[in-house]
A and B are shown apart, each in its own frame.
Chain A
């Protein structure tokens, strides 16, 4: 009899748990209530997301996560980083494991519409390239007939690669690999003749080689890879927050707001655009459910787009990437931030 009663009690508890499960609030409220932001990033890609000597996450994508946390929660360190491989990132986002995705992710129509994600712009313009050892004496991807090519699985690169070789009627062998670090090891061990991924990723990977000069990037860029953040579809409020934090960082560079001078500019600037970004004019923060200092905090915590780029990817880093397409439109690049007004 007693066992019966226990089972009944357990059942009642289970039922009450089921009924009392919280109704889903918006992600913004969830993040605020939780006090931390769950940001999905790469498992390890030098320059974009990697751990430093103290076990802290560093990198280009990581700083965008921190900026978002600074804007929403006031603390750039209130981020829980969720590491995802190319394969697991969308499932992690859709299942609520993360609040947003900053994992050098290419914006494509099928991902936006079919995978039910919402992309919020582009924070890095990239394209897929190839790296090969100099010793092979290859100058073009068209010479790769019969070669083995390492790719990161679960990315657009494997689709592009199949397209490229099919269009050019070249035979090849794909060697699918889960993470960039494994791909790097496999390529160096000589399992593949070439490694293909985004151009930025190739540069970053080459920087970690013993002898970077022994490897060349082939001139072909076989795809467009606009990389940008994504959130789950159907939560427009939260999408706005992420989109405008990123936009503010880009626009801050355009108007010369840096982590160093943001505070001075609050009182020292007459430029209405600057004053709007810094929350002195207008009430733009309240439009997206934040206070007025949201963008100022984001900029002060990690710097503007240019500072982030310089710190992690620029010519003074081992990766040594030029701004190229990622320069402001005023400098001949593609960065053309939606105005904050």
Chain B
């Protein structure tokens, strides 16, 4: 570049600018050596190989199925399943179809994932805060917890927690008294029993009251925000909102108590009758997954909190925020912004790990369509394809939700 009299033809970049290159410069060799041409060739090759592989495998499947005298059909989904499922969020008995059994499996997986994610987040947050606590003992305990939990396979967690749940909780069969709370909630190794709400005529009004309360709470929040921006006064939001959401439907219920009754669990001959039952399998699986995942979430949140610059903390202190308020209003929102993508990954992991339900007999997707149905009908191919698609949809769905959330809390650059 020192010489000003460089021949443009000798500088490839400049020659490219002055004269549009022809693809056929330099004969066939040159043609093949060109970057774009090679890129196209590579891609054509990749597609060909991929298609060849799929065609080959597809052909093998056809040959193999034919040799075994099997066909490929989803007709079995409409046939009676002939087996029972112990956790039935929707109507189901052994005369229902395999398709319905699969639906139950989907709901059960969804339940574990949903409840597990909530618990994992809460435990994770608490552990992260405990880990950063100035109390030496507490922070050491939190540290021991995360290290132990993270470094033991999740399957072992599930088996251990399940073992604890069914051996440590009161054994009703041997006449041990279950734990009860006001005679309304019963906990034993047969599960957790809580009063079950039953809707009757007029329950729709309760629902409307609930929606109205939510709308009012939202308006209150907006109003409080406006006031804060205009006058710098902070109005309480959380408590009034909660009060509204609970009180309004409750008042509505008082006007017509028949619209919503509760079925109270009571001790039967073998099991607790009535009420809403959470199986020990559900319980153990959710707890184990929540504990396992919470250790990872705790680490992510801790890293997030540590990444918030020290100045922020000191500024909060200078402004007279208490430690708790500083954490809630200043540190955590910033920490979460960093932590959301890795937390999403943990949520996905929890959902996928829920497939290990198979180890303790909780009937999720793998237990129903990928388990008993597959076994009783012998449709491995059909069932496994369904199972894969279902888990993929779960993963995509969670990613989608978390992306929306992530966008809503992302830093708005002005």
Chain A interface (Cβ < 8 Å from any Cβ of B): 1, 4, 7, 11, 14, 18, 24, 86-87, 90-91, 94-95, 110, 114-116, 133, 135-136, 144-148, 153-154, 158-159, 161-163, 165-166, 172-178, 182, 185-186, 189-191, 193, 232-234
Give every chain B residue within 8 A of A18 (Cβ-Cβ).
56
Q: Least Cβ distance of B370 to chain A in Å? A: 9
Question: Smallest Cβ distance from B100 to chain A, in angstroms?
Answer: 14
Question: B276 interface residue, CB < 8 Å from A?
Answer: no
Q: B78-105: which have CB < 8 Å to A?
A: 82-86, 93-95
Q: Are B86 and A159 in contact (CB under 8 A)?
A: no
In the assembled complex, which residues on chain A have CB atoms less than 8 Å from the CB atom of B85?
174
A158 touches B166 (CB 8 A): no
Chain B residues with Cβ under 8 A from A174's Cβ? Answer: 83-86
> Which of the residues A115, A175, A193, A233 comes within 8 Å of B86, measured between beta carbons?
A175
Q: In whole angstroms, how far apart are the Cα atoms of A162 and B67 in the complex?
A: 34
Q: A148 CA to B172 CA in the complex, in Å?
A: 12
A179 CB, min distance to chain B CBs, angstroms: 10
Which 3 A-B residue pairs are closest in the complex by CB-CB distance? Answer: A190-B171, A162-B94, A115-B378
| Beyond A176-B86, A189-B163, A234-B67, 16 extra complex contacts between A and B, CB < 8 Å | A114-B378, A145-B270, A147-B269, A148-B271, A153-B361, A153-B375, A159-B83, A174-B84, A176-B367, A176-B372, A178-B358, A178-B359, A178-B361, A186-B361, A190-B172, A193-B271
Contact A158 B83 (CB under 8 A): yes
With contacts A90-B375, A153-B371 known, is A191 near B67, CB below 8 A? Answer: no
Contact A193 B372 (CB under 8 A): no
Of A136, A174, A189, the most chain B CB neighbours within 10 A belong to A189
Give every chain A residue within 8 A of B377 (Cβ-Cβ): 114
B167 at interface by CB-CB < 8 Å: yes
- Distance A144 CA – B271 CA, assembled complex (angstroms): 11
> With a CB–CB cut-off of 8 A, which chain B residues contact A162?
82-84, 94
Residue of B whose beta carbon sits closest to that of A192: B173
Cross-chain contact B271 with A147 (CB below 8 angstroms):
yes
- Tell which of A1, A148, A153, A189 touches B171, judged by Cβ atoms closer than 8 Å: A189
B6 within 8 A of A: no
Give 26 pairs: A residue, B residue, CB < 8 Å, sorted on A.
A1-B32, A4-B41, A4-B42, A7-B49, A18-B56, A87-B374, A87-B375, A91-B374, A116-B68, A133-B173, A148-B190, A153-B371, A154-B371, A154-B376, A166-B93, A166-B94, A166-B95, A174-B86, A176-B361, A185-B163, A189-B163, A190-B166, A190-B172, A190-B173, A190-B189, A191-B166
Q: Mark B200-244, 1 if CB is under 8 A from A, else 0.
A: 000000000000000000000000000000000000000000000
Indicate whether B275 reaches chain A with its CB closer than 8 angstroms. Answer: no
A98-B195 Cα distance, complex, nearest whole Å: 50
B83's nearest neighbour on chain A, judged by CB, is A158
Instruction: Please report the C-alpha to C-alpha distance between residue A146 and residue B361 in the assembled complex, in whole angstroms.
Output: 19
Q: Which residue of A lies closest to B363 (CB)?
A: A176
Query: Which chain A residues border B153 with CB–CB below 8 Å?
Result: none
B84 touches A186 (CB 8 A): no
In the assembled complex, the Cα of A116 lies from the Cα of B377 at a distance in Å of 11
Query: Is A173 touching B372 in the complex (CB atoms < 8 A)?
Result: no
Known contacts A136-B173, A191-B166; decide if A153 and B372 are in contact (CB<8 Å): yes
**Known contacts A162-B94, A175-B86, A193-B173: A233-B371 contact under CB 8 Å:** no
Q: Which residues of the other chain, B, contact A87 by a CB distance below 8 angstroms?
A: 371-372, 374-375
Q: A146-B269, A191-B190 are in contact. Are A161 and B84 (CB under 8 A)?
A: yes
- Tell which of B41, B271, B367, B378 touches A173, judged by Cβ atoms closer than 8 Å: B271
Given the complex of chains A and B, what is the CA–CA distance between A161 and B371 in angstroms? 17
State A114–B70 Cα separation when bound (angstroms).
9
A317 to chain B, nearest CB (A): 28
Q: Give every chain A residue within 8 A of B41 (Cβ-Cβ).
A: 4
Give CA–CA (A93, B362) in the complex, Å: 26
Please determine whether B378 and A90 come into contact, CB atoms closer than 8 angstroms. yes
B273 within 8 A of A: yes
B280 at the interface (CB under 8 A from A): yes
Cross-chain contact A190 with B174 (CB below 8 angstroms): yes
Is B33 among interface residues, defined by CB-CB distance under 8 A?
yes
| CB-CB under 8 A for A234 and B361, given A116-B378, A148-B270 | no
Residues of chain A contacted by B320 (CB below 8 angstroms): none
- Given contact pairs A1-B32, A94-B378, A146 touches B271 in the complex (Cβ within 8 A): yes
Q: A136 CA to B377 CA in the complex, in Å?
A: 37
Residue of A nearest to B167 (CB): A189
Report the bound CA distance from A55 to B179 in whole Å: 43
CA separation between A15 and B68, bound complex, in Å?
Answer: 25
Chain B residues within 8 Å of A145, by CB: 269-270
C-alpha spacing A146/B56, complex, angstroms = 53
Chain A: minimal CB distance from B367 (Å): 7
- Identify which of residues 259-292 in chain B touch chain A, using a CB-to-CB cut-off of 8 Å: 268-271, 273, 280-281
Contact of A7 among B45, B67, B70 (CB under 8 A): B45
Q: Tell me whether A24 and B358 are in contact (CB under 8 A).
A: no
